[in-house]
Structure 1
């Protein structure tokens, strides 16, 4: 039996729950969960904000642990090896996206907490291709959030060939944005942090920002017109996107990883004249995730985390929902 914490109704408290996972499939692995990050996506799923939740719901998709068992055809990991598991737990492995190395774009990809049980548990299962071994030098107590928030901001750096000579802006210095600052500084970029909270300036600079702009100050944003090759938006808020388009240099890109509530509105003329781009991306493929972990290990990059025991899972969720997390929460057994 697997022992977990599950919500039985939308918005309900997480309660002890156990289930029999059945026989292990041939290409499946079972992970002994040591740590699991708590993400806003877990909160959204608990509340059924996206209309796809099924109950009982066991959240948890930033898993770190050791391999407890492997299926008969598993070749990529071995028992006892420390690994991580993120938002995706399986992809079809035969569509054009999987075959081109873009498993994260697979139209039938299985999500770790959608229609299946996640990592707020003592064990969790997944297909071997989405289970990533941890490199030497990575702190297992800190790395969990890299499997969701970390890869979300690292993936566009790779996908859109951000160069060390580029000037990059990061909108929002929170759970995603603070990791973006650390990655981009190590990448070699000149980095500007945009935040509505001027009190975050000192911390943003410590995290890797070269410059800081108070995004409530329209004049301050206008002062950086035609400055950036790439701007990464990590916020879940509606902003005056036209101002940020104007902040891009010709051929610059405004890229979204934060899910803004409403339609993105802006004039077409500045985009056309400057040959600018608007884009978004989900997480990354297994290969990109492995690259991110290697890069993080090489440069000593880890998220800023707060730790709760698994028995405090409801307190951790409340802490996140209240906006008090600085900047990611990790549960530990």
Structure 2
């Protein structure tokens, strides 16, 4: 039996829960969970904000652990191997997106905590392709958030072929934004942090920002118009997006990885006249995730975390909900 923590109704506290996962699929792996990060997406799923939660729900999609067993058709993973598992745990492996290496765009991709039990447990299962081995140099304690927040901000760097000579802005210095600053700094970009909190400037620079803009200051925003090749929005808030579009250079992109609450409203003429674009992306493929891990190991990049025991899960959830987390939370067995 798997021992886990589950919520049985929207917004309810998590309680101990046990279940049997049944026979292991021929292409699947079972992972003994050692650590599991807590993400804002877990909060959204617990509250059914997106209308796709099924109860009882076992959250957790930033899993680090050792392979306990493998299916009969699994070739590359072995019991005892240390792996990570993120938001996605299965894709069809046959469609044009999977076959072109874009598994994260598969139309039937399965999320780790949608219609299945996630990593707030002592065991979790996934298709072997989505269980990514940890390279040497990655601290397993802090690695979990790389499999959601980390890959979410790293994927656009690869997809857009961001160059070290590019000027990149990051909106928000939180769970996603602080990792974006670290990755972009190591990539060699000229990085600007946008934040509504002026007291975060010193820390933003320590994380890798070359410049800091107080986004509540209209004059500061005006001073960086026509400046950026890419602006990465990591926030879950509605902002004046026309202001940020004005900060893009010709051919610049305003790219969303944070889910804003309301539809975007923007003037089209600046997009047309400057050949600018608005876009978004979901996490990354297994190959891009492995590339991110290698890059993080080489440059000693890891998220800033706070650690809680698994039986403190509700305390950790409340800390995240209150906005006090700095910057990612990790449960450990």
Distance in 1 (alpha carbons) for counterparts of 2:321 and 2:89: 25
Q: How many pairs align?
A: 333
Q: Which residue of 1 aligns with 2:158?
A: 158
Q: What SS is found at the alignment partner of 1:329?
A: strand
Distance in 2 (alpha carbons) for counterparts of 1:4 and 1:218: 48
Distance in 2 (alpha carbons) for counterparts of 1:266 and 1:22: 50
Q: Which residue of 2 aligns with 1:308?
A: 308
The 5 Å alignment of 1:81-160 reads 81-160=81-160
Q: Which residue of 2 aligns with 1:16?
A: 16
Per-residue deviation at 1:277? 1.0
Per-residue deviation at 1:76? 2.0
Q: Which residue of 1 aligns with 2:29?
A: 29
Distance in 1 (alpha carbons) for counterparts of 2:56 and 2:245: 43
TM-score, length basis structure 2: 1.00
Q: What SS is found at the alignment partner of 2:142?
A: coil
Q: What SS is found at the alignment partner of 1:141?
A: helix
Distance in 2 (alpha carbons) for counterparts of 1:308 and 1:94: 40
Per-residue deviation at 1:198? 0.4
* Unmatched runs of 5 consecutive residues or more in structure 2: none
The 5 Å alignment of 1:1-333 reads 1-333=1-333
Distance in 2 (alpha carbons) for counterparts of 1:49 and 1:38: 16
Distance in 1 (alpha carbons) for counterparts of 2:14 and 2:118: 13
Per-residue deviation at 1:265? 1.1
Distance in 2 (alpha carbons) for counterparts of 1:127 and 1:229: 37
Q: What SS is found at the alignment partner of 2:325?
A: coil
Q: What SS is found at the alignment partner of 2:141?
A: coil
Q: What SS is found at the alignment partner of 2:140?
A: coil
Distance in 1 (alpha carbons) for counterparts of 2:91 and 2:76: 16
Distance in 2 (alpha carbons) for counterparts of 1:13 and 1:183: 35
1:176-231 alpha-carbon deviations (Å, 9 max, x no partner): 00000000000000000000000100000000000000001111001100111110
Q: Which segments of structure 1 move beyond 6 Å, counting only runs of 4 or more?
A: none
1:66-107 alpha-carbon deviations (Å, 9 max, x no partner): 000001111121000000000000000011111111000011
Distance in 2 (alpha carbons) for counterparts of 1:64 and 1:30: 12
Q: What SS is found at the alignment partner of 1:146?
A: helix
**CA RMSD between the two structures:** 0.5
TM-score, length basis structure 1: 1.00
Distance in 1 (alpha carbons) for counterparts of 2:277 and 2:179: 23
Per-residue deviation at 1:37? 0.2
Distance in 2 (alpha carbons) for counterparts of 1:46 and 1:296: 30
